[in-house]
Amino acid sequence: MALFGKKDKPKKTCPICGGELHFFTSLLLADNNEICADCAQKMRDQFNVEYYWERKYWRDGDVTVRKKSHDLLQDLTLEDVMEIMQQKEEAKQETLETVDGAAGAYASVFTFTQPEQIFPKPLQVGIPRAKALKGAWVCKGTAIRGSFEQGDDVLVLAQDGTTRPAKIAVLIPCDIIDFWTELQARTHKKTIAEGFPAWIVLDPAIGEVREGETIVK
């Protein structure tokens, strides 16, 4: 007889990947289903945590302000998550077919949407980094094959199959913290594994980066 029931208790598993759910890291969805931390992080390119200040006015005229957060991922149901995962998978297969068709198989492929040019201020990131990153393009996307690391020499693959050499100046995994906070804090991890989203900042020497291009190595 298992007095404390521990051995007999079935372990809860993630309905997406089948991995074990851990109490402190799993994420509760709007319909009370839970998904594991990895599956949640894979969606952080689209669903992050919003922070805002809540003001509360008291009867005596006092105002208190406190920082609050809202996790957009927790607005979804398991069905929503599965549908989004499915769409991501289809988009991934389509991109990999195009990339492999144009250029032969690259070990690592990173897709992104809406690249943005940044001009960090010296007060935000210090003078040397402000200079180094002036006019750099930030590509927010996912490593759909292989892995990437800050400092990697990569290629930007255009839709017509041509490539331009580039360097990953900064790599920040998408998490619940926003890009600028991470860029300033510099405490972020500098690698991403397959399936995980990140912001990749390319060395400005590459020039403009366009929607529809992919980063490969």
In angstroms, give the least distance from the CB of 109 to Zn ion.
22
For residue 152, what are the contacts with CB-CB under 8 A and spacing of at least 6?
A: 167, 168, 171, 217
Among 16, 109, 139, 157, binds Zn ion (CB under 5 A): 16
Q: Which is nearer to Zn ion, 16 or 169 (CB)?
A: 16
The answer to the question of residue 17 lying near Zn ion (CB under 5 A) is yes
| Partners of residue 172 on adjacent β-strands | 199
In angstroms, give the least distance from the CB of 176 to Zn ion.
17
Binding string, 22-51, against Zn ion, x = CB under 5 A?
--------------x--x------------
The answer to the question of residue 73 lying near Zn ion (CB under 5 A) is no
CB-side neighbour CA atoms (13 Å) of 68: 8
Q: Which two tokens stand for residue 214?
A: 């992919």
What is the 3 state secondary structure string of 184-208? HHCCCCCEECCCCEEEEEECHHHCC
Q: Which is nearer to Zn ion, 16 or 138 (CB)?
A: 16
In angstroms, give the least distance from the CB of 214 to Zn ion.
26
How far apart CA 64 and CA 45 sit, in angstroms, is: 32
The number of beta carbons lying within 10 Å of the beta carbon of residue 108 is: 18
How far apart CA 144 and CA 151 sit, in angstroms, is: 19
Q: Which is nearer to Zn ion, 81 or 215 (CB)?
A: 81
Q: Residue 78 is which amino acid?
A: L
Please count the residues of this chain forming the interface with Zn ion, following the rule CB under 5 A: 6
The answer to the question of residue 130 lying near Zn ion (CB under 5 A) is no
Q: Which is nearer to Zn ion, 46 or 184 (CB)?
A: 46
Q: Which is nearer to Zn ion, 13 or 124 (CB)?
A: 13
In angstroms, give the least distance from the CB of 69 to Zn ion.
22
Residue for token pair 């291009």: 213
Q: Which is nearer to Zn ion, 26 or 108 (CB)?
A: 26
For residue 131, what are the contacts with CB-CB under 8 A and spacing of at least 6?
A: none
Residues that bind Zn ion (CB under 5 A): 14, 16-17, 19, 36, 39
